[in-house]
Amino acid sequence: MYGSRAIYPSTVFLVLWSLSVEEQFYLLWAPVVRWASRRTLFLVTCGALAFSPVLRYFIHDAVGTEYKFVPARLDGLACGALLALLISHEGYRRKLYWVFHNVWLCPAILIGSFVAVGWTKYREFGSHWFSVIGYSLISVAFLFLVAYSLEQTGTNSVLCRLLRSEPWQNIGKVSYVFYLIHLPIRAYLNSFLLLHLGKGYAQKTLTLAGSFGLTWVLANLSWRYFESPILR
């Protein structure tokens, strides 16, 4: 990824930073899961949840160094690990699902509003406040969403009907390649349209619509002719 920046700065491989965070987490987390007790796993997970925001407080700078630094982003991954621990235990799973089934909406709205205000007003990297708290709140909001989706699995709730719909299933199938290629396609299309149309509303609209459509088509082609045959 770093080598690519000299040739294709901020375009082709830059999105791989998040995948590298995932891979490093998997390499570290798998041995812990294999050898540690459930109690130790719970303590390690809670420790990661508390550690990352504190670390972000001390290392935050104007360019957002903490954004791509693995130890500073462990809280998001730890939320998923914590949820897995809770739902794998029968007693905790029943209590957790009861909480999310009955009171999930209030905290989800509060957290969503809090994050939206912070994102809009402070613009992510420029805000020390968002760096310390905002990323954790986003993770907790998605923890709520995933937990609620699991609790509602097989029901006719609006969310489950939406996630079972054909368009959303398609997005799930092609999401990996969609993520990998969306940034370079958007960057190159934006440069092309700037050159021929100049900067303006039409250029921005065509960049957004065109890059989404082209990315979706290429991701579906990849799924049909490359990824799907491998899975078979």
Together in a domain, 121 and 199: no
DSSP at 70: G
Provide the number of structural domains found in the chain: 2
Q: Is residue 24 part of a domain?
A: no
Q: 211: domain range? A: 167-231
pLDDT at 123 over 90: no
Residue 2 lies in a domain: no
CA dihedral for 215, 227, 170, 119, sign (positive or negative): negative
Q: Which of 97, 124, 155 is the last residue of a domain?
A: 155
The pLDDT of residue 100 is 66
Whether 125 is in a domain gets the answer yes
Task: Say if CB 134 and CB 124 are below 8 A apart.
Answer: yes
- Answer whether residue 4 shows pLDDT above 50: no
Residue 160 lies in a domain: no
Judge whether residue 232 has pLDDT over 80.
no
How many Cβ atoms from other residues are within 10 Å of residue 105's Cβ?
Answer: 11
Is residue 132 over pLDDT 50?
Answer: yes
In a domain, 7, yes or no: no
In a domain, 28, yes or no: no
Establish if 17 belongs to a structural domain: no
Choice between 141 and 176, residue whose per-residue pLDDT is larger: 176
| Alpha-carbon distance values, 7 to 15, 16, 170, 195 (Å) | 15, 15, 33, 21
Phi-psi region of 123 (alpha: psi -120 to 50; beta: other; left: phi over 0): left
Q: Is the pLDDT of residue 54 over 70?
A: yes
Does the pLDDT value for residue 119 go beyond 70? no
In this structure, is residue 144 part of a structural domain?
yes
CA–CA dist 193, 220 (Å, integer): 24
| C-alpha span between 158 and 98 (Å, rounded) | 18
Q: Report helix, strand or coil for 53.
A: helix
Question: Does this model's pTM top 0.85?
Answer: no
What is the spatial distance between Cα 22 and Cα 37, in angstroms, rounded to a whole number? Answer: 23
Q: Last residue of a domain, which of 109, 125, 155? A: 155
**Whether residue 215 is found in the same domain as residue 143:** no
Mean pLDDT of 204-230: 92
d(CA 104, CA 145): 8
Residues 133 and 184 in one domain: no
CA 147 to mean position of chain CA atoms: 15
For a pLDDT cut of 70, what percent of the chain falls above it?
83
CA distance 12 to 204: 20
Same domain, residue pair 109 and 198: no
